[in-house]
Structure 1
Amino acid sequence: MGAKVSRNDFEWVYTEEPHASRRKIILEKYPEIKQLFGYDPLFKWVVTGMVIAQLAVLPFIQQLSWPVMLLVAYCYGGVINHSLMLAIHEIAHNLAFGHNRPLHNRLFGFFANLPIGIPISISFKKYHLEHHRYQGDEVIDTDLPTLIEAKLFCTTGGKLLWLFLQPFFYALRPLVVRPKPPSPMELINLIIQLFFDAVIVKLFGWQVLVYLVVGSLMAMGVHPVAGHFISEHYMFRKGFETYSYYGPLNWITFNVGYHNEHHDFPAVPGRRLPEVKRIASEFYDNLPQHNSWTSVLYDFVMDPDIGPYARIKRKHHGLDS
C-alpha cells in the first residue's frame, strides 16, 4: 500500500487543501447536512462519566506494584486519557456547548483536562484550528513533522522510536516551529492543572500522578488508539492527504476516525459524523481508508515506502492569521 515516498523530501503540491472545496460541493447537493451542525447535548455527560471513571480507580492504583500500575495505565488509564484528549479536540471546535458559549467550552476543557495530568486544552485549540484552515502549510500547520524528524527517523527502527516519542514531538514541535506567547487562558489552564496534580499527590501519592501522566504519554505512542495520529494525514496512497478510519475504536474516540468527514465539516460533532458519511456516501466510499489503527502503526514502521516524509506540504504564502 506504500506511496513510494522519497526519503529526501515531502510531497509538495500547489493546490489548495481539498476540504473547503468538497464541503461546498457536498452542501450544494445535500443542504440537509447543515442540520447536523452544532453542539452535541450528550457530549458533556459522556466526558463527565469518563473523568469519574478515571478518578474512581485512583484509590486502587495506589495499592498496585509499579509494573502492574504501568500495565493498568497502558490498558485502562491511558485509553481514557486519550479519549479525553479527543474530547478536548471536540471542545476546541466549540462542540461541547456551541459557538455562542465559548467560555463554557473553555471551562469544560479545563475539567476534561484534569485526569490527563498535563495542561493541553487551551494550547491545543490555539494550533489545531490553524491545522484545519491551513492544512499542509509548511509554516502554519504544526501537525506536519519537521525536516529534522523526517531525516532522523526514516528507518524501520527510527520510525518505531519516533512513535514512542510522538507525545513529545506533538507537544514541543509547535513551540519550535511556530512559537506563540502564552495566553491568559493557558496560564489559568496551567494553574488549575498544577493544583489538581498537587491534590492527587497529597491524597494518593506520587505513584498515582505517574499513573495519570505516564498513561497519557503511553497512549499517545505505540498504542492502538494512537494509530489515528498516523492514519489521519500520512500519505499511504500517493496524492491523498486525509484518510478516514471506520473501525470500532471510533466508539471510544468520538468518531475521530471519520477524519475526511471531520475536515469537511468541523462544525459537526463526532457523534453525527457517521450521518455525514451516510448522506454523502458517494463522496467518501471510494476514498482510500483504514480499517485498523494497529495495522496503520505496523505498516508505518515496516513499510520502507512510508515514513515521516509521507506528508503533503504546501509552500507558505504569507496567509498567516
Structure 2
Amino acid sequence: MGKSGRLDFEWVYTDQPHTSRRKEILAKHPEIKSLMGADPHLKWIVSGMVFTQLLACYLVKDLSWKWVLFWAYAFGGCVNHSMTLAIHDISHNVAFGNKQARWNRWFAMFANLPIGMPYSASFKKYHIDHHRYLGGDGLDVDIATDWEGWFFCSPARKLVWLILQPLFYALRPLYVNPKPVTRLEVSNAVVQFTADFIIYYLWGLKPVVYLVAGSILGMGLHPISGHFIAEHYMFSKGHETYSYYGPLNYITFNVGYHMEHHDFPSIPGSKLPLVKKMAAEFYDDLPQHTSWMRVLWDFVFDDAIGPYARVKRTCKLVKED
C-alpha cells in the first residue's frame, strides 16, 4: 500500500468562512434569528436514551461476553455515539437556553451517564475553541497533530487511526492545548464514576463493560463515526466544512448539517434543516457528502486524504471577560 501524498496541513491566511457567511445570511434572512434558543424536546429525547441504556445494562448482565461485545457495538455504540452528539448540542445551551447555563451543564452530565467515562465537561471546554478558532494552530484540538499526519499516512495505518480515534480525541488536548482541570470536570468525574459503581454493584461487571466498550467501539470504526471525517477534512480544496443531509442525521441530532451548525451554533440541531431551507441559496452549491460510509472508505484509500487533509491557520487569542 502506498503512502498519502500530503506532507503538511493546508495552511491558509484568511479568517474562517462562517463568521462572514452568518452576517450575509442574517442580512438577507433575519427570520433565521427566530430559530435560536432552547429546544423543548431535547431533554425528553435525551432522558429516554439514558433510560434505554440503563434497561440495556440490565438485559446484558447475564449474556456471554461475546454477546455483550456484539450488542455494545451494534446497539450501545450507536446510542452512546448519538449521546455524545446530544452533549454536543447541549454544550451550546440549547437544552434549557443561555439563561440557564448551569442547568445545561448538569444535564450534560446526566446525558454522559451511558458513556461510562466522564466526557461532557471537558468537551464543553474545548468545543468553544473549535468554534471560535476553527483550524487554529495550537487551539483547535479537533485537528490531528503533526505526528499523526506523518505516521498515519498509508491505508493500513489510516485504518488503525480510525479505530483509535477515541484515544486520540481524549489525549490530543493534553498535548496540543492543555488547560487546568475545572471544578465542573471534577464533578463530572464524581457523578460518572458513582453511576458506574452503582451499576456494577447492582448488576456486575458486564453492564459497565457494555457501556464503556460501546462508547469506544461506537466512536472508532463505526458507520456513525464517518461524521468525524466528513465535517472538516478537506475533500475539496479550499473548503474546510461540509454538510451531510442523509438519513443518519435522524439518530445524530442533525450533526450532518455541519456548515449550518458552524454558521449558527446557537440554533438547536433539530432546527438546522430549517436553516438550510430558509437560506438554500447559500448552501445548495457548496460541496457536501452523501454517505458517511463512503467518507470512511475514501479516507482510508484516497492518497490525497489523511490526517493532514485539514485547513489550518494562525489565530489570535480572544481575551475572556
For normalisation by structure 1, the TM-score amounts to 0.97
How far 1:319 moved relative to its partner?
4.4
**Cα distance, 1:200–1:154 mapped onto 2, change above 3 Å:** same
Three-state SS of the structure 2 residue aligned to 1:136 is coil
Q: How does 1:62-73 map to 2 (within 5 A)?
A: 62-73=61-72
Which residue does 1:233 correspond to in 2?
A: 232
Matches within 5 A, 1:177-216: 177-216=176-215
Q: CA distance change for structure 1 residues 6 and 12 in 2, over 3 Å: closer, same or farther?
A: farther
Letter paired with 1:109: A
Distance in 2 between residues matched to 1:270 and 1:61, nearest whole Å? 31
Contact 2:133 2:315 (C-alpha < 8 Å) held by counterparts: no
Moved more, 311-320 or 202-211: 311-320
Q: Which residue of structure 1 aligns with residue 19 of structure 2?
A: 20
Distance in 1 between the 2:65 and 2:149 partners?
34
Gaps spanning 5+ residues in structure 1: where?
none
Q: What corresponds to 1:83 in structure 2?
A: 82
Q: TM-score, normalised by structure 2?
A: 0.97
| Corresponding pairs, count | 317
Once the 2 structures are TM-superposed, how far is the Cα of residue 260 of structure 1 from its aligned partner?
0.0
SS of residue matched to 1:185: helix
- Once the two structures are superposed, what CA deviation does each residue of 1:44-81 show, in whole Å capped at 9, x if it has no partner? 00000111111112122011111111111111011111
Counterpart of 2:286?
287
Equivalent runs, 1:159-170 vs 2, <5 Å: 159-170=158-169
Question: How far off is 1:204 after superposition?
Answer: 1.1
Distance 2:137 2:5 in 1: 17
Separation in 1 of the partners of 2:200 and 2:57? 11
**What percent identity do the matched residue pairs reach?**
58
What secondary structure sits across from 1:107 in the alignment?
A: helix
Matched, 1:123 2:126: no
* Structure 1 position 309 matched with structure 2 position 293: no
Question: What code does the residue aligned with 2:22 have?
Answer: R
Separation (CA, whole Å) in 2 of partners of 1:174 and 1:6? 26
CA distance in 2, matches of 1:77, 1:161: 22
Give the CA deviation at 1:316.
3.8
Structure-2 separation of matches of 1:205 and 1:188: 24
Q: Which amino acid aligns with 1:40?
A: D
Task: Return the offset for 1:7.
Answer: 2.1
Q: Is the 8 A contact 1:6 1:309 kept in 2?
A: no
What letter corresponds to residue 34 of structure 1 in structure 2? K
Per-residue deviation, 1:205: 1.0
Q: Quote how far apart the aligned CAs of 1:320 are.
A: 6.5
CA deviation map 1:211-243 (0-9, x unaligned): 100100101111011111000000011110000
1:274 aligns with 2:273: yes
2-structure distance, mates of 1:153, 1:223: 18
User: Does the aligned pair in 1 maintain the 2:5–2:303 contact within 8 Å?
Assistant: no
Counterpart residue identity of residue 20, structure 2: S
Corresponding residue for residue 265 of structure 1 = 264
What residue number does 2:33 align with?
34
Q: Structure 2 CA distance, aligned partners of 1:170 and 1:298?
A: 20
Q: Is the 8 A contact 1:140 1:320 kept in 2?
A: no
- Residues 79-103 of structure 1 deviation map (CA, whole Å, 9 limit, x = unaligned): 1111110010011100100000011
Residues 176-197 of structure 1 show CA distances to partners (whole Å, capped at 9, x for unaligned) of 1111111111100000111001
- Which whole-Å CA distance do the structure 2 matches of 1:235 and 1:27 have between them? 26
Look up the match of 2:8.
Answer: 9
Give the residue type in structure 1 aligned to 2:84: M
Q: Distance in 1 between matches of 2:233 and 2:58?
A: 40
Matched position secondary structure for 2:37: coil
- SS for the counterpart of 1:307 is coil
Q: How does 1:54-65 map to 2 (within 5 A)?
A: 54-65=53-64
Contact 2:57-2:208 at 8 Å conserved across structures:
no
What's the CA shift for 1:318?
4.5
Amino acid at match of 1:170: Y
